[in-house]
Amino acid sequence: MGKMKDVFSKLKQLQDILLKQFAAEEEIEEIPHDLKKMKSKYEKLKRSLEENNKNIENYTKTIEELRKNIEALNADKQKYENQILQIKTQKEYEALTSEIAQIEEKITMMKEEEEDLNNELVKISKEIEKEGVELQSLEETIAVKEKEVKELLEKKKEELDGYLKERDKIAAGLDEEVIYKFEKIVKNKDGLGIVSIRNNVCMGCNMILPPQFVNDVRREDSIIFCPNCSRILYYYDEESRVPEQSVTI
């Protein structure tokens, strides 16, 4: 049954290559991670800067309006104050002073609002300045990182390409369906897709297998999967020509 021994040996080779392939694929996935985070931070900062600029514009406009209103109110106040000089009755006097008091109250409120907005403007201006510096520095960092990521990716992809070619070479002589299943097992079962049976026990999951089942595996007529862990099984004995390998992950 040399043919099956050959298949087992090839599957073990395939497993080693698959592990390298998966690791490379994972790294390729990981490499741009920090760059993506930086870019999203950059976008967030840019949006905040735009928002702040818009606020500056709005607040400046509101302050302008407030000043105009205060000016108009002051003119009214002046007008009433002039009228006071010409009034004849106590009643008229009271009406005018009450009017003036109301205007003064409005002016005070508007001035307070103006002051609040001015304080806000100072605060936002400082933020804008800070964000501008941060954006500039982030832009430079991203440019450097982008170059680094590009180079790393190229290198890793080249490495992966080599593994894929090697994988295809090994897989060439094997059944497609078996390879498909085997790859899934290697991926999902901690990198171990083919294991031996020793003393009627699956070395992958430690399940005790029925003697008849073990005999089937031993006969090496076909590829048999462990009913419990789905790994491909081969029978181990001292004279086995399949070298035992410790799997390195």
Contact between 202 and Zn ion by CB under 5 A: the answer reads yes
Contact between 17 and Zn ion by CB under 5 A: the answer reads no
**Could you say which of 229, 232, 235, 242 contacts Zn ion (CB under 5 A)?**
229
> What is the distance between the alpha carbons of residues 43 and 37, in angstroms, rounded to a whole number?
10
> What minimum distance in Å lies between the beta carbon of 215 and Zn ion?
17
Judged by CB under 5 A, the stretch of 3-11, 38-46, 199-207, 236-244 that binds Zn ion is: 199-207
Q: Would you say 191 and 249 are in contact if contact means Cβ atoms under 8 Å apart?
A: yes
Copy the structure tokens of residue 105: 């109250």
Helix axis angle, 90-171 to 33-84, nearest 10°: 170
> What minimum distance in Å lies between the beta carbon of 188 and Zn ion?
13
3-class DSSP state for residue 197?
A: strand
3-class DSSP state for residue 236?
A: coil
Size of the site for Zn ion (CB under 5 A): 6
| Shorter beta-carbon distance to Zn ion: residue 53 or 222 | 222
Judged by CB under 5 A, the stretch of 7-15, 18-26, 158-166, 223-231 that binds Zn ion is: 223-231
Contact between 200 and Zn ion by CB under 5 A: the answer reads no
| Shorter beta-carbon distance to Zn ion: residue 186 or 229 | 229
Judged by CB under 5 A, the stretch of 8-16, 83-91, 120-128, 220-228 that binds Zn ion is: 220-228
Element (H or E) spanning 217, and its range?
A: helix 211-219
| Shorter beta-carbon distance to Zn ion: residue 222 or 228 | 228
Burial of 3 (0-12, 13-18, 19+ CB in 10 A): exposed
Q: What is the DSSP string of 80-132?
A: HHHHHTT--SHHHHHHHHHHHHHHHHHHHHHHHHHHHHHHHHHHHHHHHHHHH
3-class DSSP state for residue 194?
A: strand
> What is the distance between the alpha carbons of residues 89 and 175, in angstroms, rounded to a whole number?
114
Contact between 18 and Zn ion by CB under 5 A: the answer reads no
| Shorter beta-carbon distance to Zn ion: residue 100 or 223 | 223
**Could you say which of 24, 170, 186, 226 contacts Zn ion (CB under 5 A)?**
226
> What minimum distance in Å lies between the beta carbon of 219 and Zn ion?
18
**Could you say which of 17, 70, 160, 204 contacts Zn ion (CB under 5 A)?**
204
Q: Would you say 156 and 28 are in contact if contact means Cβ atoms under 8 Å apart?
A: yes
**Could you say which of 98, 200, 228, 240 contacts Zn ion (CB under 5 A)?**
228
Contacting residues toward Zn ion, per CB under 5 A: 202, 204-205, 226, 228-229
